[in-house]
Amino acid sequence: MVGAEALMSRNPGAGDPRRLIALVSGLLLAVAGCSSPAPAPPEEVVDLLQQDWQHVPGVTADGDGLRVTATAFTILDHDGGDSGGRQPNPPLNLAGTHLMTEGNFSLSALLTDITADASWAVYDSPPVIADEFRIEPAGLRLTLNGDDLEVIVFDGSHQQDVTDPRPVYDEHVTVPDPGAAVSVRRSGDTLEIASDGNTVASVPFGGVFESGELWLGLSSDDGSFRVSSLTAAAAGGASLTTAGPAVAQTEPAAEGLQALADRVRPGFTIGAAVALGPLASDADYAREFFGDFGGITPENAMKPQFLSPQRDVYTFEEADAILDRAESRGMAVHGHTIAFTEAMPQWMQELPTGSGEERRASADALLDYVTTVVTHFKGRLASLDVVNEPFDVDQGTSLQENIWYRTFGPGYPAIVSRAVHDADPDVRQFINENGADVPGDRQDALLELARDTNARGGHIYGVGLQSHVYDLRTDAISTEDLTDTLHLFEQAGLHVRISENDVTDDRGTDAQAQQYAAVLATCLRSRTCVSYTTWGVDDRYDWWIDDDGGLQQGHDFLFDEGHPTPAHAAMARALRSSR
C-alpha cells in the first residue's frame, strides 16, 4: 500500500487533506477492482450413512450403505377393528442422529435395488404418535416408484381429520433416470427437487423447515431398497451440524419426585409413560422425565401393532431405544403390553378361529408371538402387563371376545401368563384394567379374573389400576375408596400398581392437584401398592380426538409446556409430608 506521505511528496497539490482522502480512496477502489473475488467457502458435507441408524425399524446396515425393508407400520383405528382404516406411520431416525441448520440446506440420496417403492423424508420435528392416530409434522416426503417421483409437503397445521392428513402439496413428476441421485435444496421459501442435477419440481414451501431441525426417515410401503449414498450440506453460507437425542443431556433432580419417594419409602417407584419422539427431540420433556421419575412405561412402543406389524416380522428398535435410555440410568421398566384387544396388528386380528384346526394354528401363532417378545426383553423388565383391559369397553364385566378369547376361550389369561412365565420367570405379571380403582362390579370382576388365572396355573403378581380421571364429577377417586380397594387386593394376596393415572383440569388446577396428591399419598401408605405411574409427562403431547373427530389438547399431566403444574407441587408436598 502506498503511504500518505509518499503521495503528498509526489503530488504537491495533495496537501489538502480532503484531496488526500479522495486520492487514497480512489486508489483503494482501483486495487479492489483489480483483485479477484474471495472464493466462496466450501460446503460442509455430512455423510449421513456414517451416522447412527440402528434404532430405526426396517433399516439395517448393508455394507457401506443401508438396506430398507417394508415394516407395514400403521396406526390402527381405536376400536381395534378394520372399519376405520389405518393411518400410515413411516418411521423416523429418532434415537440416532438428526441435523441442525440455521438456514438453507441440501440433501441428496442415491436409492438403488428398488423392488417396489422407496421413500425418504425430512421433517422439522418428530410426529406425535398415539395408539389411535399420528399428528403429521411439517416436512417433506419423496417417494420413488419407477420413473415416478411423488413429492409431498406437510405444513404442520392441524388437520380436519388427523387420521387422514392432507398435504399442502402433492405432485407426481417423471424423472428421466430412476437410477440417478434425488436431491432437495431449500433456498429461503423455496424447495427445489432435482433428479441427476435437473430440477423436476420447485415449490414455495421452504418455510416448513423454520425450526432449524431436520429429522430423517427411510421407508417402503411394499418392498425394499438400498441407500447407496445419503448426504447433507449447508447452502448459501448457512451452518449445518449433527445432533444426538435430547435425552443425553439430562440428570435426575435432587428434589424430583423419585428422589423424594426414595427418602420416604425406598424401593417404591414413581414412573411415567413415555414416547421416543419427545424423549429424543424435546429437551424440556427429557429433563422433566429423567429429573422427576424413576420408572418408565413405553406408552406405545411395546404394543403388538408396533412390535410385530407383520406376522413373523418384529420391529423392536424403538422399544429397545427407550429401554436403553432407562437402563443407562438404572430405572425400572414396566412392559406394556401382551394380550390387548386394541392396538393389535392386522395379521393378529385376522387369525382364523372357525374350526379346531384353525384355532390350533392360531394358538401356535399367538404363543410364538408371546415367546418371541418376552424372550427378547428377558432380564430388562421389572414387570409386565400380560393382559390389558380384558373387560368390555362400556365398563361392564364381560371379557372382550378378541382373538385371544376366540382362540383359547375365557381362560386365555392363564395361558398367556404361563407362556410369559416360561419365557421369563422373573418378570412380575400384572392384569391392567380401567374403571376398577373404586369398589364395584368391575373391581370385583378384576379380582376374580386374577384369582381364576392363578388357579389355572397362571403367575399373576398383581393388578394395575389405571386411575384415569377424565371428569372429576364422575371419575374422582376418594382416599376412602382407594384405601378399601388396596385392602381388598391385599387380602387376596395380590399387589397393586397405580398404572396410568392422569387427571383432567376441568374443575380447575387446584382440584386437579388435590386428586393427584390423594391417589399418590394413598398408594404410598399401602405396602400392597408397589408403584405409581402417570400416563404422560407434559401437556405439550396430551392430545385426543373428540366425538366429532376433532383434535383436542388436554391438560392432564404434571408438566405443561416445560413447567411444573400445581399438581406436581401437590405431589411433592405429599411425599415430603409422608416422612
Q: Which residue from 524, 308, 532, 340 is spatially nearest to 432, judged by alpha carbons?
A: 340
pLDDT at site 7: 33
The CA–CA distances, whole Å, from 120 to 69, 107, 164, 236 equal 12, 11, 20, 24
pLDDT along the chain (579 residues), means of 10: 36 39 36 43 81 96 97 76 69 96 95 98 95 94 98 94 94 96 96 97 96 97 97 90 86 95 97 97 96 97 96 97 95 98 93 98 98 98 98 94 98 98 98 97 98 98 98 97 98 98 97 98 98 98 91 96 98 92
Q: Which residue from 316, 339, 342 is spatially nearest to 76, judged by alpha carbons?
A: 342
pTM of the model: 0.90
pLDDT at site 527: 97
pLDDT at site 43: 63
Q: How crowded is the C-beta side of 21, counted as CA atoms within 13 Å? A: 3
Cα–Cα distance for residue pair 74/84, rounded to 1 Å: 12
> How do 139-145 and 118-123 pair as beta strands?
antiparallel
∠ Cα 134 307 221 (to 5°): 60
Cα–Cα distance for residue pair 245/242, rounded to 1 Å: 10
Cα–Cα distance for residue pair 531/212, rounded to 1 Å: 40
pLDDT at site 85: 61
pLDDT at site 578: 82
Q: Please report, as a single letter, which amino acid is at residue 289.
A: F
pLDDT at site 171: 97
Cα–Cα distance for residue pair 51/390, rounded to 1 Å: 43
Identify the three-state secondary structure at position 574.
Answer: helix
Grid cell for residue 68: 430398507
Q: Please, are residues 447 and 398 in contact by the beta-carbon 8 Å criterion?
A: no
Cα–Cα distance for residue pair 80/349, rounded to 1 Å: 8
pLDDT at site 201: 97
pLDDT at site 573: 97
Cα–Cα distance for residue pair 50/371, rounded to 1 Å: 34
pLDDT at site 392: 94
